[in-house]
């Protein structure tokens, strides 16, 4: 586990080894501490990659929260948790911080197992208010006294779960504070009516106009500055009364703000005051700037939301010459949209990540960013499909988990022609447990009416998207991994028209290696290792995971000595399991085994390190096959 070098002199940060050290600092030193924290975060993220812009934006807020509240007795619940780098450094993990996102290093998200300051394991958005109201109810039932604070971004506030939580928060009226961290961005600029409403509060209000005029006037009169400073202090205490955030007030949550999220002293004053007022749930609307303190991130907050290693001085990332899966999907769909006017594209706040920016340019009227609202994205698509359109919903595998019921109830049952572009399927690497796309095969293969495809080359992905755009008979899911389209030397017969349900075969050996998607190169390596031991293989490439080409599979089971499925997914619920269940009784259990992930949540690190950790390497797989053949007398 390597350590990133830290270049700044960090006088104040060096003196902090526990949260008590932070609280013993004079308030006037806190802005300098914030600068040092930002320096550390920039140093480490420039080497490890990570969620930079969001973390830089909340450094001041993080200091103010830990300074004012008695954490971990008081409980902070971070929504998503991608913004917790300063929180980690201040809560006893400073020395480990350079290991963040590295294999066996600190997680990039809150982890209960890492620290008592991390109240919950998180990674998916919009859960903090539900957790906070649960915490507050539990606290009161147990007659405990701690404060409960949820910190949620304006992007995460577009997730429907928040409104389910607010419905209950306004009902049970428990003591809790919601910090709304408004930087006007989700990953891209935030969209939708909620975002507009928040912007109106900040910029369009009567209050702000009066405030501006008052400030200008005071700048011109003697002693005006002192009066203005005094006004600002009073303002922090009273603005909630003058400018209620009506939507929240209507939900029974008292609104305070907007507050400058980079004024540490102001926030501490406000939090100190709020924690003494026991009058039910409150929301503090804090305004921050994403990327604060690092110019490239301030200028390009979306690019620096989640970023790989970069040059700290220039902000430039290593240029990738390889083409990514998302890019192939987005560009193909954009091309199709120019001729096929029924094609629509839907993203849940991941326009850039899913490659849909090209589609937005090509067909802006048929592009929809619905916010972080995966359930809604799927139901919305079903209505478009019912009305004759061909919606493509591009969602990362892990986030599609949110919309499981909608896949069944709103798409599957009515057999509607919605296509799901399931991005980041399989192991995703450094984002870890909450982000691996390991469940989609298991949950989609069981939904009647769905077809499930798994391309192994960019060309295949294109073929599948073309097929889906003209299919129109029911739902299709296409799963593809994170990263670059792999280079494969193997040549499978390519059908001129993509034909679902047909597997591709290469070789006629006595060992069948059954793979799909990005596992083809893995199978090639296993085949080469077996070849070196005098064993020839057949590689069966499953481009369609549902329906499976059982003719091809059964024939391979018959004629081979060993039949192995290798998956970038869980064994349980995976394709190997499906194959066994579909084989006729006499063939089941015969020389068949599956290679994939065990029944465990899989940690973070580079994908290769994770595969290695779980024994998923071509070396280990070929050893297993040889050992199996030796045991069964098959060699």
Ligand X SMILES: Cc1ncc(C[n+]2csc(CCOP(=O)(O)OP(=O)(O)O)c2C)c(N)n1
**Measured distance CA(51)–CA(106) in Å, rounded:** 14
Q: How many whole angstroms separate alpha carbon 62 and alpha carbon 49?
A: 21
**Does the footprint of ligand X cover residue 186 (CB under 6 A)?**
yes
Which residues are CB-neighbours of 608 under 8 A, at least 6 positions away? Answer: none
Residue whose CB is less far from ligand X, 118 or 175:
118
Confirm or reject binding of residue 349 to ligand X (CB under 6 A).
yes
- Using rule CB under 6 A, residue 54 touches ligand X: yes
Q: Considering only CA atoms, which of 436, 424, 463 is closest in space to residue 324?
A: 424
Among 47, 71, 107, 125, binds ligand X (CB under 6 A): 125
Beta carbon of residue 146, minimum distance to ligand X (angstroms, whole number): 24
Which span sits near ligand X by CB under 6 A: 195-203, 257-265, 342-350, 576-584? 342-350
Site membership for ligand X, residue 424 (CB under 6 A): no
Give the nearest distance from C-beta 155 to ligand X in angstroms: 2
Residues 6+ apart with CB under 8 A from 5: 43, 47
Least distance to ligand X, CB of residue 112, Å: 18
Using DSSP bridges, classify how beta strands 451-453 and 544-546 pair: parallel, antiparallel or unpaired. antiparallel
Cβ-based nearer residue to ligand X, 301 or 475: 301
Residue 157 or residue 562: which is nearer to ligand X going by CB? 157
In terms of CB distance, is 66 or 124 closer to ligand X?
Answer: 124
Task: Please state the length of the chain.
Answer: 635
Output the smallest distance, CB 373 to ligand X, in A.
9
Our answer to whether residue 546 is catalytic in this structure is no
623 contact partners, CB below 8 Å, separation of at least 6:
none
d(C-alpha 105, C-alpha 101), whole Å? 6
Select from 33-41, 235-243, 348-356, 418-426 the region that touches ligand X (CB under 6 A): 348-356
Question: In the numeric block, which tokens belong to residue 632?
Answer: 């069964």
Q: Is 524 in the site for ligand X (CB under 6 A)?
A: no
Q: Which of 75, 93, 103, 290 touches ligand X by CB under 6 A?
A: 290
* CB-nearer residue toward ligand X: 85 or 453: 85
421 touches ligand X (CB under 6 A) = no
Q: How far is CA 425 from the centre of its chain?
A: 12
Using DSSP's 3-state secondary structure scheme, residue 51 falls into coil
Shortest distance (Å) from residue 304 CB to ligand X: 10
- Site residues (CB under 6 A) for ligand X, limited to 74-113: 80, 82-83
Strands annotated E in 397-521: 419-423, 451-453, 476-479, 504-506, 511-515
As a whole number of angstroms, the distance between CA 508 and CA 170 comes to 66
Instruction: Give the span between the Cα atoms of 601 and 437, in whole angstroms.
Output: 11
Sheet with 476-479, edge to edge strand ranges: 367-369, 343-347, 390-396, 419-423, 476-479, 451-453, 544-546
Q: Which of 372, 379, 438, 515 binds ligand X (CB under 6 A)?
A: 372
Closest approach of Cβ 431 to ligand X, in Å?
Answer: 9
Catalytic residue among 75, 290, 331, 479: 290
Smallest distance from the beta carbon of 127 to ligand X, in angstroms? Answer: 8
The pattern of x and - marking residues 144 through 183 that bind ligand X according to CB under 6 A reads ---------xxxx------------------------x-x
Estimate to the nearest angstrom the gap between the alpha carbon of 305 and the chain centroid: 11
**Cβ distance 88 to 413 under 8 Å?**
no
What lies within 8 Å, CB to CB, of 267 at 6+ separation is 60, 61, 64, 65, 68, 259, 260, 261, 286
| Residue 262 to residue 362: CA distance in whole angstroms | 39
**Residue appearing with tokens 């192939």:** 328
Which one of 101, 185, 482, 541 is in contact with ligand X (CB under 6 A)?
185
Specify whether the CB–CB gap between 604 and 101 falls below 8 A: yes
CB closer to ligand X, 195 vs 336: 195
Q: Which of 30, 187, 198, 545 binds ligand X (CB under 6 A)?
A: 187
Minimum CB distance to ligand X smaller for 423 or for 577: 423
Q: How many Å apart are CA 634 and CA 101, to the nearest integer?
A: 43
Interface residue with ligand X among 399, 467, 480, 498 (CB under 6 A) is 399
Q: Using CB under 6 A as the criterion, which residues of the chain lie in contact with ligand X when the complex forms?
A: 54, 57, 80, 82-83, 124-125, 153-156, 181, 183, 185-187, 290, 305, 348-350, 372, 374, 399, 402
Active site residues: 290, 374, 402
């Amino acid at each position: 586990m390597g350590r990133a070098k830290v270049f700044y002199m960090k006088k104040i940060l060096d003196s902090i080894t526990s949260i008590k050290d932070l609280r013993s600092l004079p308030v006037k030193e806190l802005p300098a501490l914030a600068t040092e924290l930002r320096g550390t975060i920039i140093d480490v993220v420039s080497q490890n990659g990570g969620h930079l812009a969001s973390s830089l934006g909340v450094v001041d807020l993080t200091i103010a929260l830990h300074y004012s509240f008695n954490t971990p007795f008081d409980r902070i619940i971070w929504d998503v948790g991608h913004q917790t780098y300063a929180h980690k450094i201040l809560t006893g993990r400073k020395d480990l911080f350079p290991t963040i996102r590295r294999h066996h290093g600190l997680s990039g998200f809150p982890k209960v197992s890492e620290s008592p300051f991390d109240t919950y394991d998180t990674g998916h958005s919009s859960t903090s208010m539900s957790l906070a109201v649960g915490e507050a109810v539990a606290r009161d039932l147990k007659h405990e006294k701690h404060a409960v604070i949820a910190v949620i971004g304006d992007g995460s506030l577009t997730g429907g779960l928040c409104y389910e939580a607010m419905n209950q928060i306004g009902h049970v009226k428990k003591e809790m504070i919601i910090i709304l961290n408004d930087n006007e961005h989700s990953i891209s600029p935030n969209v939708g009516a909620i975002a507009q409403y928040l912007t109106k509060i900040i910029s369009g209000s009567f209050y702000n106009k009066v405030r501006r005029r008052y400030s200008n006037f005071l700048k011109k009169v003697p002693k005006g500055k002192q009066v203005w400073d005094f006004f600002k202090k009073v303002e922090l205490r009273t603005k909630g009364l003058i400018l209620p955030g009506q939507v929240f007030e209507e939900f029974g949550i008292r609104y305070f703000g907007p507050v400058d999220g980079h004024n540490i002293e102001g926030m501490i004053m406000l939090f100190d005051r709020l924690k003494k007022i026991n009058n039910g749930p409150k929301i503090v609307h804090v305004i921050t700037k994403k990327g604060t303190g690092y110019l490239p991130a301030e200028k390009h907050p979306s690019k620096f939301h989640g970023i790989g290693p970069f040059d700290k001085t220039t902000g430039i990332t290593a240029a990738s010459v390889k083409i990514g899966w998302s890019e192939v999907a987005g560009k193909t769909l954009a091309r199709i949209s120019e001729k096929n006017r029924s094609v629509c594209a839907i993203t849940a706040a991941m326009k850039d990540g899913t490659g849909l920016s090209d589609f937005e340019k090509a067909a802006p009227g048929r592009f929809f960013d619905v916010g972080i609202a995966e359930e809604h994205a799927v139901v919305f698509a079903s209505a478009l499909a019912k009305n004759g359109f061909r919606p493509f919903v591009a969602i990362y595998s892990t986030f599609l988990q949110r919309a499981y019921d909608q896949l069944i109830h709103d798409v599957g049952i009515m057999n509607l022609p919605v296509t799901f572009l399931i991005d980041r399927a399989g192991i995703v690497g450094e984002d870890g447990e909450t982000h691996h796309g390991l469940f989609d095969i298991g949950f989609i293969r069981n939904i009647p009416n769905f077809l499930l495809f798994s391309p192994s080359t960019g060309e295949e992905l294109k073929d599948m998207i073309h097929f889906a755009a003209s299919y129109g008979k029911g739902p299709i899911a296409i799963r593809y991994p994170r990263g670059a389209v792999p280079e494969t030397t193997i040549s499978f017969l390519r059908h001129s028209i993509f034909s679902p349900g047909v597997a591709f075969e290469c070789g006629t050996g006595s060992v069948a290696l059954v793979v799909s998607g990005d596992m083809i190169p893995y199978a090639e390596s296993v085949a080469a290792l077996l070849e070196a031991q005098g064993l020839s293989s057949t590689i069966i490439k499953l481009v369609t995971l549902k329906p499976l080409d059982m003719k091809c599979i059964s024939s391979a089971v018959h004629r081979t000595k060993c039949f192995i499925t290798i998956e970038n997914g869980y064994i349980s619920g995976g394709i190997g399991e499906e194959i066994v269940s579909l084989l006729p009784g006499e063939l089941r259990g015969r020389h068949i085994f599956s290679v994939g992930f065990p029944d465990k949540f899989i940690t973070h690190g580079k994908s290769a390190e994770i595969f290695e950790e779980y024994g998923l390497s071509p070396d280990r797989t070929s050893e297993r096959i040889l050992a199996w053949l030796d045991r069964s007398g098959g060699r």
